[in-house]
Structure 1
Amino acid sequence: MESFIAAVRAGNTDGVHELLKQGADPDIVDEHGTPMVTLAVEAFDTEMLGTLLMRADAVDLERVDAGGRTPLMRAIELGDPDVVYSLLAEGARLEAEDAEGRDALALARYWHERDIEAEVRRRSGGPGPVRRRVIHSESPWTCEELSLGDVRFRTGRSAVLTDLEPRCGVAPSFDELLSRVLAEPNVDHAVWGEASIRLAERRDWAVWDSAAALRGARDPLERYIGAEVLRTTNLFDESDETPFDGPLVDLFLPWVVEEEDHRVVWSLTAGLTDTADPQVEPALPRGEAVLDALVRPCEDSPYEDLLHDIAHHRGFC
């Protein structure tokens, strides 16, 4: 048992895999009462999590730690979207409640509203500066990790909340989701992808009109999210009638000619490329020139095929 716990803590997936083959129980707890799955959650170790969940039939995802938290509750608190998604994919229950009667959605709302840096400082008790680093996840999106001493949190809570709401039958307003993405000025942040996809899933003309209205916004980030919602709505529409194709072309063709922000130009160009309208071809060279000059030289840019990748990762297509 001790060797298994030590391997999980060390992130030794090969060792854990071998011990599982030899009959080790993945559902044990350490000396603090922490389940092995929760240890992987606390380490943000999705590879270890996947290894443990290979024996999902032997793992109780509702087993609580000494604080009365399931692995999913702990993952929501720590704020890494990929860890949360991995647990949900294996059947972690959204309805389970913590000691204060909060289910997964209530916890996501609670932690979304907390000041992460202040929480890191409070739990650490240390005087030093909070360290920040960008985390590139398994999906094309990013979040930040804030740490001080041994205390670590990640900034994906807004994305987690945006994902959980429709799972629980909640549809936040367009304006509420807009405010969430604009609170994260880095367009690579996971909440940008979640909000775009979740709004696009609605196939709602009211959402379409709200996104289209952002074309006239002064803030290029507002124009970018508007363009992303529109193109994603059309991209994910699989109906034979393709009802969004024509309106998208009518809106994007004049927009791409006048747009000055390269991120928005990329979104508009990608949206036009996804249509089969012959009017589109004359407008593409400008978009491609912008991409060549500003986007493609950025080796770490996740723009190309971004939404296709995230949709595939999340199982939407």
Structure 2
Amino acid sequence: MSGATVIDAVRSGDADAVRRLLEAGANPESTDAQGVPALCLAIAAFDEPVASVLTEAGADPRRPLPDGTTPLLRAVDSGTVSVVLAVLPGPGEPLDESVRAELLARARHWHEAGVVPELRRRTGDRGTPRRIRVRDGGWWTDYDEITLGGLTVRDGHAAVLSCLEQWFGQRQSIDELLARALARPDPGHADWSESVDVLAGRNDEETWAAAAGLRSHPEPLHRLFAADVLRGIVRSEAMADTQPVVFEQRAPEIFVPWAAEETDPAVLRLVLRALSESDSPDPRVEAVALSYVAHPDPEVRREAASILR
């Protein structure tokens, strides 16, 4: 990429080239021929690695833009959690309360209005939107990427809202986060996974009890969400290496009887996976796994075999 500029490297999505150019003295606030900052080009491309490199090098996410927005607001508009986190100032650079309120209001508006109606309002286009499923590879979460009237965004604004609330120290109830997840009842989608991650990251008694209370809910999706949160709490505790261990020791107490009575295959798979990950010596874990080695669902059999291995 001899003779390339920061803008060239950003457009090619080459984070390493962007980093080398910046280390050689290139300006992180470089703009293209239309005056669009490099950081905004990265945001528009949903390119979290490039946006991170630019922000770390000094590109200002609060830079006022001619249309009255900022790169931060455009990141929220993008509907992509990883892009928002790439441009949010770190804990040592607190945002003004007014900026926080504006970001939260922006995310909430997209979430409540819906992506397609908001794109119609912004563009005036009444045509059929183009929708494709995309994977944010670094985060292992999915989005629908929606294009209408020349604008393209992703549909993770509920996830962005949950992320911002957590970042700004606002605690939503499990009922609210559950509602956001169930609005897109897809465990692979960012709206679901971000609700789970926010709750699991709390790693506290209140959240454990609230999630455990959903175990007997008549709707399988509620039980699936509960199992995902409880599993996440156990994993969060293990990753944090906290002492004494609290929730990992409780895993068999909730997941063994749950596995014995669960009838929905999707929920059962997750409950068995949680038992496998807990690596508990409790003999009841092996017994419940043995009871499912001949289950008609192959994924349930696979999770049972994982425990036995």
Contact 1:134 1:143 in 2 (8 A): yes
Name which of 249, 261, 264 aligns with 1:261. 264
The secondary structure found in structure 2 opposite 1:103 is: helix
Whether the 8 Å CA contact 1:11–1:45 is kept in 2: the answer is yes
CA distance in 2, matches of 1:40, 1:52: 9
| CA contact 1:145–1:154 (8 Å) conserved in 2 | yes
TM-score by length of 1: 0.80
Counterpart for residue 200 of structure 1: 200
Distance 1:159 1:285, change over 3 A: farther
Distance 1:161 1:295, change over 3 A: farther
* Residue type at the aligned position of 1:294: E
Q: Contact 2:115–2:155 at 8 Å: present in 1 too?
A: yes
Deviations 1:150-175 (A, max 9, x none): 21111111111111212212111111
- 1:257 Cα deviation after fit: 2.0
Task: Kindly state the Cα deviation for residue 2 of structure 1 after the two structures are TM-superposed.
Answer: 10
Q: CA deviation at 1:89?
A: 6.9
CA contact (8 A) 2:28 2:57 kept: no
Which of 12, 26, 29 is the equivalent residue of 1:27?
29
Alignment of 1:93-242 (within 5 A): 94-95=95-96, 97=98, 102-137=101-136, 138-237=138-237, 238-242=241-245
* Structure 1 range deviating more: 109-118 or 170-179: 109-118
DSSP-derived class of the 1:108 partner: helix
Matched to 2:27, the amino acid is D
Q: Could you tell me how far apart the structure 1 residues matched to 2:109 and 2:199 are?
A: 22
Count of aligned pairs? 294
Q: CA deviation at 1:256?
A: 0.9
* Structure 1 match to 2:47: 45
Amino acid at match of 2:60: D
CA contact (8 A) 1:262 1:291 kept: no
1:127 Cα offset (Å)? 3.9
**Letter aligned with residue 108 of structure 2:** R
Report the equivalent of 2:289.
284
Q: Once the 2 structures are TM-superposed, how far is the Cα of residue 106 of structure 1 from its aligned partner?
A: 3.2
Mapped to 1, the partners of 2:296 and 2:169 lie a distance apart of: 39
Shift of 1:117: 0.7
Give distance in 1, aligned partners of 2:300 and 2:66.
48
Q: 1:111 Cα deviation (Å)?
A: 2.6
Q: Which one-letter code corresponds to 1:42 in the other structure?
A: A
User: Deviation of residue 181 (structure 1)?
Assistant: 0.7
Q: Which residue of 2 aligns with 1:312?
A: none
Cα offset, 1:149, TM superposition: 4.2
Q: CA deviation at 1:144?
A: 1.1
For residues 67 and 97 of structure 1, the distance between their equivalents in structure 2, rounded to whole angstroms, comes to: 19
Give unmatched runs, 5+ long, in structure 1.
298-303, 305-317
Q: CA shift at 1:179, angstroms?
A: 0.8
Cα distance in 2, alignment partners of residues 213 and 172 from structure 1: 17
Aligned sequence identity (%): 36
Contact 1:143–1:189, Cα closer than 8 Å, also in 2:
yes
CA-CA distance at 1:259 after TM superposition: 1.6
Label 1:23 to 1:246 Cα distance change in 2 as closer, same or farther (>3 A).
closer
Name the CA distance, whole Å, in 2 between partners of 1:14 and 1:176: 40
Q: 1:26 to 1:35 in 2, by over 3 A?
A: same
Contact in 1 for aligned 2:39/2:71 (Cα 8 Å): yes
Question: 8 Å contact 1:79–1:155 — kept in the other structure?
Answer: yes
- 1:240, CA displacement in angstroms? 3.3
CA contact (8 A) 2:295 2:301 kept: no
